[in-house]
Structure 1
Amino acid sequence: MSDAAPALLVILITILLPPVGVYLVAGCGADLFINICLTLLGYIPGHIHAFYVEYVYFDRRERARHGQLAGRPAPGVYADRVQNGGFQGYGTM
């Protein structure tokens, strides 16, 4: 399976239900809550937010694979998983 397959699957799910797409990349948190509210306000704002969160996630994931560090946190994205592209950094115990 290629690396593009999961991204394509998430995009197809997001077209139908934007909050589900956000949940798949960001988990349950502020980004999901914001997307649910935006989707309830209108289907288009929910899509815009969902695709933005997914773009940040997949872009940061690709950069991390190439050893490039993301400079600043992406504005409007609150999930650490999205900010670091799904990779866990070195932490302390």
Structure 2
Amino acid sequence: MELIRIIISVLIPPLGAFLKVGLSLQFLLNLILTLCGYFPGLVHVIWLLSRK
């Protein structure tokens, strides 16, 4: 499941954040970052996935 989450996160960062944390502040932050640019959203979702 983790590999699928990583692949989805690279393609669509907000969806990957949603799968990890649900509908929360981190998801909204990732959505805003992705709207500002793909790379900031990608960095944020990688950070979310790497922390426990």
Question: Which TM-score applies when normalising by structure 2?
Answer: 0.95
Question: Which TM-score applies when normalising by structure 1?
Answer: 0.55
Number of matched residues?
A: 52
Determine which structure has the larger helix proportion and give its number: 2
After TM superposition, the structure 1 = structure 2 runs for residues 19-38 of structure 1, keeping only pairs within 5 Å, are 19-38=14-33
Q: Which has the higher contact order (CA 8 A, sep 6+)?
A: 2
Q: Which has the larger radius of gyration?
A: 1
Structure 1 vs Structure 2 CA RMSD = 0.6
Counterpart amino acid of residue 41 in structure 2: G
Q: Which runs of no fewer than 5 residues in structure 1 stay unpaired? A: 1-5, 61-93
The percentage of counterpart residues that share the same residue type is 35
Displacement after TM superposition at 1:51 (Å): 0.6
Q: Which runs of no fewer than 5 residues in structure 2 stay unpaired? A: none
Q: Secondary structure at the match of 1:10?
A: helix
Supply the distance in 2 between the matched residues of 1:15 and 1:53 (Cα, whole angstroms).
Answer: 12
